[in-house]
Every structure is written in structure tokens, then in C-alpha cells.
Copies of this chain bind each other. A is one copy, B any other.
Amino acid sequence: MGPSIIVIGGNAAGMTAASRAKRIDPNLRILILEASRFISYSICGVPYYPSGEVAHHEELIAFTPEQLFEKRGLEARTRVKVEEILPGRRSLRCRELDSRREFYQNFDSLVVSTGYVPKRPEIAGAELSGVFTVSRLEHGISLREAVRRPGVGRAAVVGAGYIGVMMAQTLRRCGLEVSLFERGPQVSPHLDAECAEAVQEELRRNGVELHLKTRVRRLIGESGRLESIAAGDLTLGADLAIVDVGVRPNTELARASGIACGVTGAIEVDDRGQTSLPSVWSAGNCAQTRCLISGRPMVSSLGTTAAKQGRVVGENLAGIRTTYPGALETSIEQVFDLSVARTGLTLGQAGQAGFRADSVTVKAADRAAYWRGSAPLRVTLVFEKGSGRLLGGQIAGRQSAAKRIDTLATALAAGMDLSQLSQLELAYAPPLATLWDPINIAANAGLRRLAGR
């Protein structure tokens, strides 16, 4: 048998690393250790479970440990927490969470793919029953039970990032009254104002009560159960609250074991995924990477980047030398009938990264204007003044239209400028697109801005 690899964390990055390594080199012995009850599931699908849009939680699971062994030859153990990495001995001190039994597990190579954890809110009452965070399948299962409890009619969502916006929708789909509270001036801080405004319109149109620039002061309970929420000058009754004040890389274990972390708080890795300790690798939302546009250190919270980093680590574990180039943070969200997407840097992020940046936003038809069902698409392009180099983009439109963001993600990966974007030959047919694609139109608007016309 070949060398033994342990993977800590059984989702996007860890599972991809394990699968990829085993596929290339079937002699590798690979064991995945996962602290929760589930491995290999769609974390991004969890918000759709409480409302029943995904009927059974099993649908979210790609492989149980048994299936994983049978189909891919990978071993996995759930409810096992790694309590200490002993790098000198190439060993892990582990605990079975159900039996509380401690055991040691040796490795030749280790992959730390512990992902992220929700930040703890600094809000009194966050420990009350009825207050949830959503970052694991177990949370989705608990929340589905909670929304179906008799008498649950009013929900509060604290924080309007990816998870907060998604959960506000889910709770509306569950038939609840929903108030969404956000300290900042807009929802979705990963978007510039124009696209965030589109999200806000769509949330309001679907009955979400939006409280922007509003600080939640306190979650108020009785007998340990949530009763109301004090936010700004208001106190509102709430039977249920979801808190999303962001996530942070889950690095306690790594830090305690002497693995170096970077300026972002995430585990420092080279472009192959190697940490500061020999034979210890890391990938995913606990590992630091670079922004593909600015070259600056960053940490992603997306499953897509996690999987791509994991793939690179898996290839290197199997002896193929590949590298991960860096992240664009391309993402897409469905907000009721709207889709909204981003890639690269927002105008705000571009400024922070030291670029002399500008942006244009155009609103253009997603299909031929005369086509029934044609709807406006908003396209924002962020670009460097002078050079016209594309730095980022955002798209909002009906149904799946924002998936067109991939064109901008590809243009960013290629280092294109507005002139090149303007001449891209994009596909047209009246029921599906326009003769001049909104991306071409936005690029032309950007070129006029650059030329001062």
C-alpha cells in the first residue's frame, strides 16, 4: 500500500483533494475525519432545505461514508474531532464525539480543510433558544423543525451578507413575516451600490421588511426563549432569529499546532497548498490565497474556490505538480426572481487595493426588446483609470441572467481591458440575447468614460 493521507474536514476542499488524489494514484490510503454528522454535502444547498425547496436532506448529500468507500475507495469517519496535530510525530490526537473515546492516528501527509465558522455576534441574547446560525447541514435540519413549530410567525434576520439575504428569502417562503437588519447602508457588501439596490428592491417586492443602517442591540428572551429583538429605536416581536455577522476561517486547531497563519487570519499556504509545516497541506475556506486581480492575500468563503484549491492539493499529493492561481470570488445568488452575481473587485475593494479605479453601470435588455419576457439586465464594470484594465464586474437580472457573469470572470482571468471586452463576439438570438450584448454595451460605456466623452 502507498502512503497514508489524513484529511481533516469532509466537504468541498477536503473531499475534492481526497477524491482527486485517489483517482490519480489508487494506491494512496486516504482517511477523512469529519467532526459533524455528515460529509460530502452541498453547504450551499442548506438554505433551501428549511422551506422544503429541497425536500429531503439526503438529497444534499453526494456520498455517505459507505458510498464513498464503495465508489471511490476513500475512508471517512464522522463525529470525530481532531484535538491536536503532533507534527513531529506525524500523528493526530482525535476524539470520537459520541463515545468520548480518544485515539491517535498517524499520517504521512495531512490536509487541513476545516473550512469556516460563523463569527460570534457581539449581541446580548445570542444564546437564546430560537436563535440560529446557518453554516452546516445540522443547522438546516434544526431550522426546518423550528419554522414548522406552531405559533412561529415572525422571524428576524441579523446581517445581510450572502447567508442573511438567502435566509430572509427562505423564511418568506416558509410563510413567515421577515425583518432583515443590516448595520451598513446596503445589503450584500460584496456588491457595489447599484446591484445591491436591485437586491433590496427584490427583497422588498417579496415582502421582506428591510432595516438598513440599523444596529441590533439585543435579542430579548423569556425563560431562555427568544421573544423579541431590539434594533435601532424599535423593539419587534420575533419567534425566531437567524444571525449572519460573517464567517471566519476555522484555524484554532492549526494555530495550536504551530501552523503559520497569514494576515487574513487564514492558514498560510504556497500556490500548491503547502503550509509552513512539512507534509501538512491546507485548502479551502480555512486557507489563505491571493486575489487574482490585486495579488493581495485574501481568504474566500466560497465552495467553488474551496473545491478548486482542494483539487490542486489532491494533484500535488498524488505527485502532479499543479498550482492554484488565485481567486476572483465569482459568485451568484438567487433572490426570488432576480439573479445577481459578482466577480473580481468591487469599486470599493479596488480602491482599497490601491487601484485608481472607476466604474460604469448600464441597464440593457437581456433579450431582444420586442421579445415577450425581455427584462433589464444591470451590468457594472469596474476598471482601472488610464489603462482600462477590467478589475471586476457585477450583473443583476431576471431568472438565471446573472450567470452571464462567467464572461466577465473569464475576461478577468485573461487580463482583458475594456476595448477587448467591447469587441467580444457574444451569442445573439432574439429569444435569448441582444445583438449588442449588455456586456459589450457596458464596455462601450466604460470606453466613453475613459475617453472623457
Using CB atoms and an 8 Å cutoff, list the residues of chain A in contact with chain B: 12, 42, 44-45, 48, 53-54, 59-60, 292, 302-305, 307-308, 324-325, 327-334, 339, 341, 343, 368, 370-372, 399-407, 409-411, 413-414, 416, 420, 423-433, 435-437, 439
Besides A327-B425, A330-B427, A409-B426, 15 other A-B contacts (C-beta < 8 A): A42-B435, A44-B428, A45-B370, A59-B370, A324-B423, A330-B426, A331-B429, A332-B432, A333-B429, A339-B432, A399-B400, A406-B406, A406-B407, A407-B410, A409-B427
Name which residue of chain B comes closest to A344, CB basis.
B425
List B contacts of A341 (CB < 8 A).
Answer: 427
- The verdict on A432 contacting B403 (CB below 8 Å), with A370-B54, A425-B308 known, is yes
- The verdict on A427 contacting B12 (CB below 8 Å), with A403-B433, A410-B407, A410-B411 known, is no
A114 and B423 CA atoms in complex are apart in Å by 22
Q: How far is the CB of A72 from chain B (nearest CB, A)?
A: 16
Stoichiometry (number of copies): 2
Q: Are B433 and A409 in contact (CB under 8 A)?
A: no
Q: Are B432 and A370 in contact (CB under 8 A)?
A: no
A92 and B424 CA atoms in complex are apart in Å by 35
List B contacts of A302 (CB < 8 A).
Answer: 428
24 contacts across the A-B interface (CB closer than 8 A): A42-B368, A42-B370, A44-B430, A48-B431, A59-B370, A303-B428, A304-B426, A304-B427, A304-B428, A331-B428, A331-B429, A332-B432, A334-B431, A400-B400, A403-B432, A406-B406, A406-B407, A406-B426, A406-B437, A407-B407, A410-B410, A410-B416, A413-B424, A413-B425
Q: Are B436 and A424 in contact (CB under 8 A)?
A: no
A435 and B425 CA atoms in complex are apart in Å by 26
List B contacts of A329 (CB < 8 A).
Answer: 425
List B contacts of A331 (CB < 8 A).
Answer: 427-429
A153 and B189 CA atoms in complex are apart in Å by 58
Q: How far is the CB of A295 from chain B (nearest CB, A)?
A: 16
Q: Are A44 and B429 in contact (CB under 8 A)?
A: yes
A426 and B308 CA atoms in complex are apart in Å by 11
Q: How far is the CB of A137 from chain B (nearest CB, A)?
A: 13
Question: For A305, A410, A423, which residue has the most chain B Cβ atoms within 10 angstroms?
Answer: A410
- The verdict on A403 contacting B427 (CB below 8 Å), with A414-B414, A435-B42 known, is yes
A267 and B417 CA atoms in complex are apart in Å by 31
A403 and B44 CA atoms in complex are apart in Å by 24
A24 and B436 CA atoms in complex are apart in Å by 18
List B contacts of A424 (CB < 8 A).
Answer: 406, 409-410, 413
List B contacts of A324 (CB < 8 A).
Answer: 423
List B contacts of A400 (CB < 8 A).
Answer: 399-401, 432
Name which residue of chain B comes closest to A414, CB basis.
B414
List B contacts of A405 (CB < 8 A).
Answer: 427
A371 and B49 CA atoms in complex are apart in Å by 11
Name which residue of chain B comes closest to A367, CB basis.
B400
List B contacts of A401 (CB < 8 A).
Answer: 400
List B contacts of A339 (CB < 8 A).
Answer: 432
Report which of B48, B409, B411, B427 forms a contact with A343, defined as CB distance below 8 A.
B427
Q: Are A332 and B433 in contact (CB under 8 A)?
A: yes
Q: How far is the CB of A442 from chain B (nearest CB, A)?
A: 13
List B contacts of A48 (CB < 8 A).
Answer: 430-431
9 tightest Cβ-Cβ pairs between the two chains A and B: A414-B414, A332-B427, A59-B370, A410-B410, A406-B407, A330-B425, A328-B425, A406-B426, A334-B431
